[in-house]
Chains A and B, each alone.
Chain A
């Protein structure tokens, strides 16, 4: 016979335990948000909101003095197509970008390779080439403005060796060349330092092995050094292209976009329209165009990295 244990009386239902609000997960999330909050808020208020505002402005017709704003539809964008100055602006912007990027990256790499040699005095030269980077841009450009005048010191020096220099800032071609050179000399030191750091990261063993295999200096540079520093080349290319499209102070001080719009790049033209001519609507359109160009070029460079950037971390 089996003795059945008496049935236990049903236990009273336990009262539901209130889950604490501050779970570990929530605490972690809060800490995470707190860490990114300054950056995120900064991005929202100082990047996203102005960006949306610029797009909104590009569809408005604004009279700053009267303080009136009215919806203009696509009128400002249509003006972009029939603006007679726009072809000159596009040409000047393209010329400046191409000239600056080629000259800046080429010169920076050349200087970095030269200063990467174990020779006496390289530290002094590194300092000399880098020092313009820390000089005030406006002071730098004003000094160059004086030197580049027709009766300035550059032409005076040229005259001493029998060369009659051009009127640098007044000739349509020489003005563009002058602006590019002033900008390159100012900033080449930064790219040079980046390239120098990359060059010093190229393993000696690889170069020595190639040398033992009979590769000459050019071959070693082309097939080992250049691929090894390609991530830095990508970085400097993106920074320089973006910087080239943002050039403003140099144009404002040296040429005011002239002569005959030959140095009237997109940012300067945007400034003229928005703040000189008080045409905020059209100025906003130009800002949108600039944003799209920079975004496209950066995306293009980023996508093309797969073809030519090696050893990406």
Chain B
């Protein structure tokens, strides 16, 4: 009996003892990419760091699928199992930065002034930097040259841009032509939108001078005349012109199923095997502005982490100018010294110098980040639900948008 009791105590002690009490450093970073080439580069950088820091026994990159990334990350934070470093998506940035969940990195990253101001804005509180914006990826318009040729579209988007005619009207007309003239193909796909992820529509409505909420984030922008015009335009493009595939219709540009797509330039990796001839231009201009949009991701060190200093030191190494240059082949950088066509051309063989300047460099310098707000998850689900009635042929656009504001105003005003 006593032996059994002793064994039980030993087991319990063994279970609760935990590891890492011997001064070893084992770092873990949560990421949402599962692309092998990207993970291999991370491992290469981590290996170099470990050679310089023998006390760091391991650095692992914990892949969590994108669609449940934020849920998994917050659950880990709440469950006393925080990662040492975490990728954070732009829409969640205000929540993480404002709540005090992240370590202040201003003193750790010695050259934050090297980062473009537009790129750091979202990740700052009271002038201090709380996450490193490692990916600042502009949205662009990819188009399939083969399908354009089959549809008999003679003026390319580049030519339209040069002639000052690269507008949303032009883009929708081209998309409708592809649908009408190439059987079985879709026109324009707004990547990841799928009638759920509404923030991606900012790529359209910003050109109309509209936004989800004004800059102070306290009032709803869905009922502004600009937004009504933008959404009416989009509704017509979907249900009347059939330029965009309707709700419930799947089409993947990168599989050759549509003529055009609005997507972040980091998606170009999907065209590595060159499944068809393609081109890329900036987002079209709207009636009010030639607005470019960027998506961002930052790396932060959670306050709850057990090895904050070691994690911050690794982040400094991971995002050094040399490693940022390496990472820029996948993740457009926010460093002034790297935001130029010459530097990017060394690591981005998929784009021509003109495309890099036209889409990437101009996008990073002039683009605005997708809508983000504190309480983003709640706002996101409320807007998604309230916008659902819009995706029907007979929708009353102003009434639906009014419903969106009614749904989110209480949250915005908090």
Contacts and interface: CB of A to CB of B under 8 A. Distances in A.
B385 interface: yes
A169 B95 CA distance: 32
A84 B77 CA distance: 30
7 contacts: A64-B77, A64-B78, A67-B101, A258-B388, A260-B385, A260-B386, A275-B74
Interface in A54-96: 62-67, 84-85
Classify the secondary structure of B's interface with A.
helix
Given A64-B77, A65-B77, A170 B391 contact: yes
B240 interface: no
Interface in B376-398: 377-378, 381, 384-386, 388-389, 391
B207 to A, nearest CB: 27
Contacts of A261: 385
Contact of A278 (B100, B195, B377, B389): B377
Interface of A: 62-67, 84-85, 146, 148-152, 167-170, 256-261, 264, 272, 275-280
B249 A65 contact: no
A275 B71 contact: yes
Contacts of B413: none
B376 to A, nearest CB: 9
A273 B290 CA distance: 37
Contacts of A146: 250
B74 A257 contact: no
Contact of B247 (A150, A257, A264): A150
A259 B304 CA distance: 38
A66 B75 contact: no
Nearest to B406: A84
Contact of B248 (A62, A64, A85, A151): A151
B78 A258 contact: no
A167 B248 contact: yes
A151 B196 CA distance: 18
B95 A167 contact: no
Contacts of A257: 381, 385
Contacts of A256: 196, 384
Nearest to B248: A150
Contacts of B386: 260
Contacts of B250: 146, 149, 151
A260 B388 contact: yes
A62 B75 CA distance: 13
A277 B249 contact: no
Most buried by A among B99, B381, B384: B381
A168 B248 contact: yes
Contacts, number: 78
A272 B248 contact: no
Interface of B: 71, 74-75, 77-78, 95-96, 99-101, 195-196, 246-250, 303-304, 375, 377-378, 381, 384-386, 388-389, 391, 407
A112 B385 CA distance: 40
A259 B248 contact: no
A256 B246 CA distance: 18
A177 B381 CA distance: 22
Given A66-B101, A150-B249, A276-B381, 6 more contacts: A62-B78, A167-B246, A167-B248, A258-B385, A258-B388, A277-B377
Contact of A170 (B96, B248, B377): B248
A89 B195 CA distance: 21
A170 B195 contact: yes
B221 to A, nearest CB: 21
B247 A278 contact: no
A278 B74 contact: yes
B247 A63 contact: no
Contacts of B407: 84
B297 to A, nearest CB: 17
A275 B101 contact: no
B246 A150 contact: yes
Nearest to B246: A150
Contacts of B100: 65-66
A280 to B, nearest CB: 7
B384 A258 contact: yes
Contacts of B389: 259-260
Contacts of A272: 381
Given A65-B77, A170-B195, A257-B385, A276 B248 contact: no
Contacts of B377: 276-278
Given A66-B100, A66-B101, A170-B391, A149 B71 contact: no
A21 to B, nearest CB: 11
A93 to B, nearest CB: 16
A155 to B, nearest CB: 9
B388 A169 contact: no
B74 A65 contact: yes
A50 to B, nearest CB: 13
Contact of B249 (A62, A84, A149, A259): A149
Nearest to B303: A67
Given A149-B249, A278-B74, A278-B377, A65 B388 contact: no
A272 B196 CA distance: 15
Nearest to A66: B99
Contacts of A259: 388-389, 391
Contacts of B196: 256, 258
A191 to B, nearest CB: 31
A152 B386 CA distance: 26
Nearest to B78: A64
